[in-house]
Every structure is written in structure tokens, then in C-alpha cells.
Structure 1
């Protein structure tokens, strides 16, 4: 064969597809999912079988865990020792497994997520109930397959004398499949199995009168009977698992919340840490201390409350914002007939029943074979004793054992097996009393054979044998239910006003989206210095506000972010804020345009939006109060490439002035923009020329004396009175506010309403900043182009105009 012929030329996708297909089939069937019959994954089954084979059982002394792990790796499971030890540890953890399969001495971890001691330090043995999983395995009740190196055989499945999959549950992730089967109460599941076995037409409702729902080792309260019913019907469903809590009265009128049971699979230390963080970050007011008082008598977490704190509101807040309450999603996937299958309660029970019928049948066949074989021997022994002298004479006259057997078989018609039993018989058995013992044994065997044949001949008798076995397990291992089942899911209503500490703070928002709240003390100590910001960022707004209020941030693309002030990070004045995306996700292409704080979302006030393409929209402020605010909410609907230019908070009785890039100004009453819903698009505010756009919009109180300050791209500025314009109506073109030039006409970049404290900041194309005080300029008329204030030849054309209110210290 030449060198080149040894290589196959195959497309990569075929090779990868084939190899991954094989790999995923392996991890689905042979690693991550439990078998529907015995409820075990291969590694768990191999651990239990190895311990059983080694005599490491419940009534024998404990053995080093490392010995078991070595046996499992060496004989059955050629994987890492940690994967085997981890599986062994889990089967011994009483907060993970409802009925322990492994008893362990030493540190096997804790509910706080502490790691177990190394396997050289711990000792283990099979638990008593594990023996029920392995009972009668030596009676050929299950199939065996060769292990990985063909040196010995291992069981495909365990006989499982109780329905372990439902009792202990299972969790795992494989390729394309995951499983989450919760633990259940042993007594209930066994009664359910018996009910379905005796009456195959049993309905799910009848079954659920016995099997109430999950029974977690950590107790707790399960809410949502509908979710349980759906899971039992389809294999998938959702329930709420809640901690067991109690509000206790202390002396002096104080209260504390005591937690004695926590949801399944929740790490206690993390839960306590999270609750303490909420206290420390002042996310909720009224918690004095959170401490873990767990000791050998049981789990106990105490949340001490301050005087006058609302215990129920705080408890609801903790349930909603920590793992005191979690959602458990049933996903009952198991390997059934070598295939992963999503199974409801009845198919799972049926799979177990079929397995038990098979086990019981094979056990009966094995026992029958043994009994028949023994009966044959006993008959031979009885016959031999009845002609004992002749038999002894025959044996004495024979040359050797083989000759003796042949002589017995030819002279007295004994079978090979009977002859073997006779020649190996010990002399002391040849007493007079022995014949009666043999006759009693023969009668007992006859009765046993009839019984076994009856079991094999009747389905009803087979079921009664299985039932008897299950009832014996139930009697031996029954205990009280730990988890309480509630039909309804309690809705958690949280009144944040009660829970938030009322405190006046200074909130800052920057153009790049950094936000923070600062104590008034830290702000005052800054002596009027600007807040900490990233280089190149600038302050968008600075607002003194109470923590019980809400911050609304409006974006250019028509969204708004709803942020309760108490949720803003508490950061010193001179330190940088935190990006808003840490609190509410924000589209990467979007940016914050305006900020405002709201104490009361009333119907009397409205929000007025004006967009670049000349649309205006007005909606009641009350529509912007949100219940869920983890992502941006729609403030108004924008069409095409439009974006928001201005957001104003008004009483609906004000006037609106709109300025455009090409130098038009339109002044009209705000009530011409009628109220619409939160998600609406609005109406045309100004009739724009082609290529024109809105640059600014100003809200004006009727009768107010207003001066406007205009800045053009060529660096010219001019101040003019609003009265230069005539009040008009919506959707008109407006009046010019600059003299039109044939060449290089001025284009408006900003039009601001000026007050005594206004400072105008002009930003040019080359990032040159120019601060202008409008009070240094006299008023002009509509037809002038003002005077040049910025040297655009040096600094580049004006690209942005910003308006500042002077700090009190600057005035």
C-alpha cells in the first residue's frame, strides 16, 4: 500500500458532523442524563455497584472514599477522580439529596458552598436505602455489559426496589438536552406507583391526590399547583420556591424576620451576603442587621429590623430581590429505551413499573431454576438414604470418584447432578434424623416452586409481589414531608416609599451617560468644583432631589430610562459616576439627551417632545410611570432617521418656540399639540423647507419677557426679543430670524432662551470652546446677522451650542 493511499480525502463538515454526532450520543446516553428506570446516571450507578461489590454496605464499617474512587476508576469509569468523588459527595449531601444514597464520615461540604475534604480524609459506605437499589442484583435481575477493558461485567441498570428518579430527582446538562427533575416524598411516590400499577387507567388528577408535588430536602414552600400539574402532564412547568419565614416580635416594639428553610440549591452564604449588601447599599431602609445563626440544631438566618420598620414590606422586597424566593423549572428528561425523552409523571411511573415487572419476573425465573435444581438433588438424596447400604457398597467397590458416579448412575438411575451430590455427601449427614430434614426441605421446595410458577403465570400475582416489596421499603424508610405545597402564587406588592430612606441628594448626569447620587455633605464640601468625570465628558444636568423620587433620562432615539433615585450608585462628588448601562441596558447607538426628576407622576403635567424633522408630541406625565424598568421604554414613536431635539415638562398652558437650521422661527400655543398616548408619534409642529431641520425648541410662559440668543455656524451671535416675531399657529413655516445672504449664508446651530444666569458655551469643529455671556450683547432685529464672536478661521465652524446656568458661587 503506497503512502498516499493511507489518507482519506473527506469534507471537514462530514468528519466533524460524524464525530460530534457520536460524541453527543455518548454524553446523552452515557454521562449526563439519568435512566428512567433506576434514576441514576452511569457514574452514580458505577459508584453504588463498586461499593456493593466491595462489601462496603450499610451494616459494615466505613471505608476510605479514595478506595471506592480508585475501584470505580479502575474497573468501571475511566474518567477523572474528581468527577467520581464529586458525584459520590453529592449523593451524601442531605441538602441536595432527599434520601441519601451514600453515608459519609468527615467533611462532605456544606449548604454554604464550602468544598468537601479530600477523598483521602473522608470515609463512606452505602446507605441503608441504597441496598434497596441493589437488592437481588445477583439473581440475574438485570443485564450486564463488559466494562471498558472487557476485564469484568457491570450492570446496565440497577434493580431499584424504589422509584429513585422521582424520590431523589436529577439535574444534568448534555448535548442538546438538559434535565431538572425535583425530589419527591418517598411515601407519596410509592403510593402513586402502586395506584397506577393496580389501575393502569388512573388519571393524573387521581395520581396528584397522592403525589402532591416536589418535596425538597431543604424544605421551603412551593407555590403554584397549576405549574406542578403542567409539569406532571407535559414534563415542563414552573413553580415558585420560597423560603420559610416568620416575623417575630422583640421587646421594645422591634421586629425581626427569621428564616428557617431556604429554597433548594440556594447557597446560604451567598443569600446572607446579598441580603446584607442590600442593607449596606441602602437599597432598602429599615434593616439593622443580617446574621446567620445556623448551628447544629438547624438553619436560622435573622434579619433584625429598625424600630418602626415595615416588616411585611421588607420581607416582600427581600423575597423579590434575593434568592429567598426562586423559580424552579421542571424539565423532566430521562433516558427511556436508550433515547432521551421529555416525560410527564405517568410515563415516568410507567417506565419504573415496566422495569419492576421485568426485575420481578427475572428474579422469579432465577429462584425457580434454583429451587428446581435443588429439588432434583433433594429427591436424589432421599432415594440414596432409602437404599443407603447398597449405595455405600457401590461407592466402596468403585475405583475413584468418577467411577463411583458412573456406577451410581448406571445401577440406580441417579442423574449426574444427583450422583455428584451423593459422592460429595459428608458422613455425618447419614443420620436417621436427616431424612426428615430432607423431606421437609422437599415439601418446602415443592410449595416454593408452585408459588414461583404462579407468579410467572399471573400478572396479578406479579404486581402483588412488587407491591409487597414497595410497601416494605415505604414502611422502613418513611418520614415526614418537608416542603409545603400552596395552590396559589402570592403576588409580591412592594411599596418602595415605605422601604426607601428619605434623604436629599445631588444627582448628576453626564453627556456620555455616567450617573451618580452624592450626599449633600459631599457636594457642599466641594466648594463649587465640577463633579468627577471622565476626560472629555461634560455635565448634562445637576439636580438636587430626594431619594424617594424618580430620575427620567430621555434619549435621542425616543426612549426613556426610568431610574428610582435610591437605585443610583452613591458616589462622592469628586469621583466618577457609574455608566447608566450598569442599571438599565442602553442601545449602543443611542445617547442621553435630557434628564428630569419626578416626585409625583400627575395627570396635570405633560411631557412635550420636539424632533429634528419638525414633529411635536405631548403626553400626560402619569403615562411615564413604570412598573418594570430593567430596559429602555418607549417615550415616543420616531419615523425614519428622526431624533428627539428637546423634551420639556409643561402644564399644557404654555407656548412653544421652534428654531430651524436655515433660520426660521415659529411661535405658537402648546395646546395646539393635543394630548396623545405614550407610544404615539405626534403631529407636525413646523413646516420645514427641504434640507432644513429643527435645532432648538423653547417652552415659554405666556406673557413672559423672553430674549433669544442665536449662534450660527460662522461664529456670529445675536440677541433678539421674542416680540420680534408674531405669534402664529402650528405647522406653519415661521418667520426668518437672519438676513438671507446669497453666498455662504448663516445657518443656525443653537437658539437659547437667556436669563440673568445663562452662559452660552460654543464648541467648534476643532473642539475649541468659547464661553459667551449674552448680557454683553444688545438686542437686534430679525433682519440682522448679529456680530462675530468666534474666529472660525482659526477654530473651525461652530458645531454645537450649549447652555449653562451659572453656579450660585459664580454669580
Structure 2
């Protein structure tokens, strides 16, 4: 053997070898492909399971069998690396939608290792079938495997945008990727909108993709960071645990963590909090317990008595993984090279892949349909001259001779002749020609459809859209992560419950109540109140810690709450849910709150229901010594509920607005005082299909604002109303339409025209100034402020008074 010795510098050799190695791990190991969102090992696992029939509709199979198939045919690496990747595809706290279903111990959120592969069983999930669907129809390129004994796909057909839905994380040479998971329904909706409008902006896409949707839930803060990431591929958000406050029988409070940030190790988090307690870095924690069970995640942090729970929680947010920063780094393989991509580029790359997949699948289906059509035409022709065909076959020497004779005599093609000579005798019946004619017609229609898809780009896009909609319908789920626009500032404070003093009491629509110091309230605007996503401020009022709060609910009940027992928190903090103070029913919600210094004043409460009942009760009747459960304020009939509560000290005018646009105005002196358990009297005479939307006190200078389900807002002045008697039909406020009549879904009496109104649908909200809505006459339907095709049907209206000057 002759030796060939090359004289090379070490620097050149190492640079060349490392460059080759880097190229390999970037392209073939650590980064996902933008088209199917999978790394090579994940793609090989899914394809190996699919190829061996280990699908969702079959029985589970030993994981070791799959691992063996993968390393034996496609992935020449260690079995542990393949099994680890396989396990991750089955972990619901890692993937938003798991791609593999696994029986047995597949690890835990505490980072416990899974059972050995010989003990666990697995199969493809139902959703992963959509990644592999049509792979046998020449839709994706196949390449030889590592030893040229078989072939493997370079990419999967991926009938849904898996990269965004399940996200990805990985580190290679010089590149890393962190793509968070998203909600399947939102991503597909955004893809559909992109197909319809390729020039759609990131801001418009964010109407559909609100942000990441982590499988572990939590609260995401920072819409600006989300938008930046969607535009550039890089951005920062804050992910915060979902924490509630519970009160123990001993009077102590405990923080209950039910959701933690994505990819946080729960056991390490619990250990860290307990270390802070043991090291006395935070004073006020008695015990930390991991109470997680099969019903869900739960970490209990028990606090000392009279400790400010919000201050401790803020300390834990700052010093533990109860709150983390998540940095987008959306790098994926595109056209064979790593690329930092925004959401539009990811969707565009995915769409181009789908166009290619559907085009190839259509060509495949067209080829086989035309091939079958050719055979069917030959069989139909043969049946039309059946006797001659039989005679020729009987007179032939062998099969080949019979085929040659048929071709020569009747101009059959080779394929048609083959089909004729292999035809079974039972198919020579009269029924078979009918079946062939039916099949011929179906094939003809199918071929026309397939050719139309290939010739018409819009038809091809419609196919993609229809298939995406079908996947969305089958697999969409509700969001798990809530999104808050701003990253909350963490201020660590060790304040305790303040003594009796002037305070601000606030109540939200979702039932969160709190008292706040006047200083904290004055330091912020009214609209900066701490609220959960989708919640709104119902009422805030100045009171004293010695006063009593009366909270009325839709069930005709009231809660008697001493103000000093309410949670004392900052204006920007959430407060405590009313049910943690007094137990209420699951479908019961708060309507309004009033405070009383005592119950000796000459005042009355007026309560009105949606079915048109009303009652007046004296203030002194509401005093009680038992306040650990809700008390009856008004007896309600079946299917009725309380909608408005008013407090008066002298007779006033009251006005009612109904769903169909009727209105009645009368004086409260028509109401007699009754006991709390009374059902009241009829307020307005309603038609069978009508309900009351609003019952409120009104002054001559006030106006009424109404919103209809069609997105119209109407404002009328006091002069439109006419004072009448109780229990009449009233006057009509809307113009009746035969087609799609307007129906009032919310109304409010406006004292200050500078107030802000907000209308809501199931998917959006819109706000505006009341003064921008001009006063109109009686028989009009107002002005349209939203398009319900985009906005959705309006279902609610709320009005907030403008912020008063801090100098006043």
C-alpha cells in the first residue's frame, strides 16, 4: 500500500472538520424544519411508527420496538437519545398537542425520568396522523437512509402548521431556537386569513393569534414583546404563575399556585420557595406543600396570620421561577439553511409547502383516476361486445394470445386487454354494466375536479383552506394561557393590614373585591385598576373600614361584608374573589355594591329583575348579625334574575329599557315598601319574547345609551321619555325592521357625556366616547359603530365614568 501524506496546518484541518460537523448538526439534528416543525429524529420516529402500522386506531406497542425500528433503519444514534425524543413527543406539559400517546410512566413535570422503553407502550396520536396523511401519494421527497437499504421522507406532508402549534427548542453550533407553542385554532385561523390576504400585517394577524398558548397555562405579560417577536423572530415576554388566595379555618391565608410557567421544574420551584423560607429571606411563610395530584397541579404556600399576601407573592415572583422571562428566538431550517423568521414568514413557508403537497397529491390522484377510467372504458366496451370477446378468448391458445387477439380485433390497449382476460365470470351480469357506468361517471367528475385544482390556483388554495378548517373543527381547544398587555412592575412591600381608616372599595364584574388606601388610588388612574383578562371594574367608592358593604347578586341575594374584613391591596392588584369571603353558587355573580355607615338612615333599596318585577325595601331590613352566607334580598320566580339595584333617599323617576326596545318611565312613589322575602310587583308589561335590559334612576339632564346586537349604538335624551304609570307597555325606542330587527343587548343612564362606553362580542371589544354619539329621535336604530361580520354580534355594553382630576 502506498502512503499519501498531506502536509496541512492543524488550524485548517480543525476548521474544515468542525465546519462539516456544524453543518450536519444544524441541518440534521438540532433545528426544526419550518415546513413540518420537526427535527430529523422526531420525523423519523413518527414515520417509523406510521410505516409499521403503529397508528392511533391500533393497539399500543412496546416503545422498545419503535426505538429499534428507528435506530435500525433511519437514525444511527444511541437508543436513549431516540427514546428521550419519543417520550417528549408524548408529554402534555411540553407539547400543546401531543403527537404520541404513551402508556406507562412517561416522566413528569418534576423532571422525573420515564420508565425504561421495555416497560412503556406507545402509538401515534390522532393529530399526528394529519402530519403524515397522504405521505404515500408522492407528496414529499424521499431520500436513501444511512445504509441505502430503504428510504425516508425529507419532510412530512404536515396538514397543519405544527411549528407554531407545538413550538420547538434546540441548540446547535452557532444557532439556537426557542419557538413557543400556540393555540391550534388561532394559528389555523391566522393561516386562513393569510391565504385570503398575503399582504396582511402582523398587527392584523395578532387579532387571530393572540400570543403563545403554553400547555402549562399561566399568565403571559407583554403584548409589545409578542408583536416584536412576530415581526422579527426575537422578542421577550414574562410568564407568570396563576396564583389564588385561600383562607384557612384558622384565619390564615395561603397562596395556591395552580399553573406554573412553561418548562419550569415544579419540584425545583417548591424547593427554592422552601429554601427562602428556611433561610428567612422572606418572613411570613409558614409552610410550602406540593399538593399536586391526578386532578391537577397545586402548590400551597401557607402564610402567617395578618401577613400581606400580595407583598409575599411579589417577593416570590421576583426571586423564584413563579415568574420567568421567555425569549423568542424563532430559528428554523428554511430552504436547507437556518433562518430567523417572523410569523408571516413561517406561515408563508408553510403555505408554499402545502401548495406543493396538494399539487403532487392531486397529480397522483389524477394519474390513478385516469388509469382506472381507461380500464373501466375497456370493460364497458368489452361488455357491449361480450359474445365476440368470449369467442375470441375461447379460440385463443393462451392468455398472451387472447390479449393479442383482443388488441388486434377491437383496438383494446394492453392494459384494457389484461383487465378483460382477468375478469371474473360473475362480473358478466347485467348489474355489472350499471356499476361500471356509475363508476365511470364518478371518475369523470373526480378527474374534472382534480384537473380544475391543478389548473386553477384559487381552487387549490380552497382545498388547503377546507382541509385546515376541518382540522381546526376536530382538534381546536380553548386557550390555556391568559394574556395581559403590560408587564406588571413588581414592587416588594412588607406592609400589613392597615387599621381603620378612609379607604377605597372596588368590585369587578367577575366578583373580585378589595379595599385600597386613598393614596394608592390617587396615584393611579381609574382605568389602571388590577383586573384579570376580560374583567372590568363594576364599582369603586369611598368608604371607611368601619362601614358595612352590601354586595347584591343576580340570584336576588346580598352579601353582608364588614369593610375592614376585605383584602387590603393596591389599586393595581387583583383583590380577592367574593366567593372566598362568602360562598356563592357557581352560576351566581355580583351586580353592585353599596356601603352603609349604619342602618338608621331613612333610605330604601329598589331591586329590579329581567322578567319585569320590581320591589322596594327599607334600609334597616338589611342589617344582620350573621354574614357567613348569602342572605335573601328578593324572592325570584323560576328563570328570573336580578339585574339592577338602586339606593334612594327620596322619590325619583325610574326608567326601564327592554330587549325589543320598549321603555317605561314612572316615579318610585308607586312602589310600596315590602319585606326582603317578598317577590315584588310588576314593573313593566312585557311581551312573551321580551326581557328587561335596564332599570335605573334618571334625572332630566341625563341621557340613555343603548347598544344593539347588530353593532349600533343609540343615545336618546330625557325629553323622548314620557312619565307614565307602573306596569304599562311603555313607548317604542327602536324602528322595527322585518329583516334582522335590532335588539337591545345593553343600556345605561348617562350623567356625564364624557363617559367612555365599551361594547363587547365573544371575540372583541370596542370603546368610544358617549359624547361622540349624537342624540337621536324615538324611532331610529342609532348609528353603527362596528361591523358584526368582523367584530361578531354585540352581547354587552358597559359605561365607565371619566377619571376626575387628581387636584380636585
TM band (smaller chain): 0.5 to 0.7
For residues 358 and 21 of structure 1, what CA distance do their matches in structure 2 show? 32
- In structure 2, the partner of 1:130 is 128
**Structure 1 gaps, min length 5:** 500-811
Distance 1:67 1:457 in 2: 45
The answer for the alignment partner of 2:295 in structure 1 is 297
Match of 2:97, SS state, is coil
For residue 10 of structure 1, report the CA deviation from its aligned partner: 1.4
SS of 1:59's partner is coil
Partner residue in 2 for 1:342:
340
Partner of 2:408: 410
Q: State the partner residue of 1:139.
A: 137
Offset at 1:435? 0.3
Partner of 1:446: 444
CA drift of 1:2 comes to 4.2
- Whole-Å separation in 2 of the counterparts to 1:24 and 1:317: 43
Instruction: Give the alignment partner of residue 249 of structure 2, picking from 248, 251, 254.
Output: 251
Relative to structure 1, the CA distance from residue 2 to residue 302 in structure 2 (aligned partners, 3 Å threshold; closer, same or farther) is: closer
CA distance in 2, matches of 1:190, 1:138: 24
Q: Distance in 2 between matches of 1:345 and 1:2?
A: 57
Q: How do 1:151-162 and structure 2 match up within 5 A?
A: 151-162=149-160
Look up the match of 1:659: none
2:342 and 2:420 map into 1 onto residues whose CA distance is: 58
Aligned to 1:237: 235
Map 1:599-638 to 2 at 5 A: none
Partner of 1:59: 57
Deviation at 1:8, TM superposition (A): 1.4
Residue 381 of structure 1, aligned match among 379, 382, 394:
379
Report the alpha carbon displacement of residue 498 of structure 1 after superposing the two structures with TM.
6.8
- 1:73 aligned residue (64, 71, 74): 71
CA contact 2:185–2:472 (8 Å) conserved in 1: yes
Match of 1:207 in 2: 205
Partner of 1:807: none
Aligned twin of 2:491: 493
Q: Secondary structure at the match of 1:139?
A: coil
Residue 23 (structure 1) aligned with residue 17 (structure 2): no
Tell me the CA shift for residue 201 of structure 1: 1.1
Aligned twin of 1:395:
393
Q: Find the residue that maps to 2:439 and give its secondary structure.
A: helix
- CA shift at 1:402, angstroms? 1.2
Tell me how far apart the structure 1 counterparts of residues 15 and 286 of structure 2 sit (CA, whole Å).
Answer: 59
Partners of 2:183 and 2:342 in 1: CA distance: 17
Please give the per-residue CA displacement for 1:222-261, whole angstroms capped at 9, x wherever unaligned.
0000000000000000000000001122234311100000
Contact 2:383-2:433 within 8 A present in 1 as well: yes
Hey, what does 2:265 align to over in structure 1? Answer: 267
Once the two structures are TM-superposed, the CA of residue 342 in structure 1 deviates from its matched residue by: 0.2
Matches of 2:269 and 2:218, distance apart in 1: 15
SS of the aligned residue for 2:105 comes to coil
Corresponding residue for 1:88?
Answer: 86
Map Cα deviations across residues 513-544 of structure 1 (whole Å, 9 max, x no partner).
xxxxxxxxxxxxxxxxxxxxxxxxxxxxxxxx
8 Å CA contact 2:292–2:299 kept in 1: the answer is yes
- Cα distance in 2 for partners of 1:77, 1:170 equals 20
Shift of 1:11: 1.5
- Give the whole-Å Cα distance in 2 for the aligned partners of 1:15 and 1:409: 67
Task: State how far apart, in whole Å, the 2-side matches of 1:163 and 1:497 are.
Answer: 49
Which residue in 2 is equivalent to 1:164? 162
Q: What is the CA deviation profile of residues 695-750 of structure 1, one whole-angstrom value per residue up to 9, with x for unaligned ones?
A: xxxxxxxxxxxxxxxxxxxxxxxxxxxxxxxxxxxxxxxxxxxxxxxxxxxxxxxx
Shift of 1:413: 0.4
Q: Write the deviation string for residues 1-38 of structure 1: whole angstroms up to 9, x where unpaired.
A: 744xx111111111111111111000000000000000
CA distance in 2, matches of 1:452, 1:198: 22
Q: Aligned partners of 1:17 and 1:425: how far apart in 2?
A: 67
CA offsets per residue over residues 472-513 of structure 1, 9 Å max, x none?
1111111110000100000000125879xxxxxxxxxxxxxx
Judge conservation of contact 2:377–2:440 (CA < 8 Å) in 1: yes
Q: CA deviation at 1:162?
A: 0.6
Given that residues 311 and 495 in structure 2 are in contact (C-alpha distance below 8 angstroms), is that contact kept between their aligned partners in structure 1? no
Q: Residue 461 of structure 2 corresponds to which residue in structure 1?
A: 463
What's the secondary structure of 1:335's corresponding residue? strand
| 1:645-660 equivalence runs, <5 A | none
Matched, 1:478 2:471: no
Return the alpha-carbon distance in structure 2 between the equivalents of residues 213 and 497 of structure 1. 35
Q: Which residue of 1 aligns with 2:176?
A: 178
Secondary structure of 1:138's match? Answer: coil
In the alignment, which residue of structure 1 is the partner of 2:422? 424
How far off its partner does 1:297 sit? Answer: 0.7
Query: Does the 8 Å contact 2:312/2:494 carry over to 1?
Result: no
Shift of 1:142: 0.5
Taking the aligned partners of 2:304 and 2:2, their CA distance within structure 1 comes to 87
The aligned residue for residue 310 of structure 1 is 308
Matched with 1:791 is: none
Q: Which of 32, 35, 58 is the aligned partner of 1:34?
A: 32
- Partners of 1:32 and 1:398 in 2: how far apart? 65
Quick one: distance in 2 between partners of 1:124 and 1:2?
54
Normalised to the residue count of structure 1, the TM-score between the two structures is 0.61
1:434 corresponds to which of 432, 438, 461: 432
The SS at the match of 1:171 is: strand
Q: Secondary structure at the match of 1:251?
A: coil
Alignment match of 1:10 (pick from 1, 8, 11): 8
Q: Give unmatched runs, 5+ long, in structure 2.
A: 498-808
Q: CA deviation at 1:171?
A: 0.2
Following the alignment from structure 1 to structure 2, what is the Cα–Cα distance between the partners of residues 16 and 251?
69
Equivalents in 2 of 1:104, 1:301: separation in Å?
26
1:357 paired residue number: 355
Q: What CA deviation, in whole Å up to 9, does each residue of 1:378-417 have, x standing for no partner?
A: 0000000111111111111111111111111111100011
Report the Cα distance in structure 1 between the residues aligned to 2:332 and 2:48, rounded to whole angstroms: 23
Q: 8 Å contact 2:96–2:215 — kept in the other structure?
A: yes
Partner deviation per Cα, 1:91-114 (whole Å, 9 max, x = no partner): 000100100100000000001111
Q: SS in structure 2 opposite 1:239?
A: strand
- Alignment partner, residue 224 of structure 2: 226
Distance 1:361 1:299 in 2: 46
CA distance in 2, matches of 1:259, 1:281: 22
What displacement does 1:42 show?
A: 0.2
Q: Secondary structure at the match of 1:485?
A: strand
SS at match of 1:55: coil
SS of 2:72's equivalent? helix
Per-residue CA deviations over 1:289-323 (Å, capped at 9, x if unaligned) read 10011111111100000112110100000111000
Q: Which residue number in structure 2 is paired with residue 329 of structure 1?
A: 327
Matched residue SS, 2:467: helix
Q: Which moved more, 1:113-122 or 1:418-427?
A: 418-427
Q: CA RMSD in A?
A: 1.1
CA distance in 1, matches of 2:222, 2:131: 32
Flag the 1:412–1:111 CA change in 2: closer, same or farther, 3 A. same
Taking structure 2 as the reference length, the TM-score comes to 0.61
Alignment partner of 1:137: what SS? Answer: coil
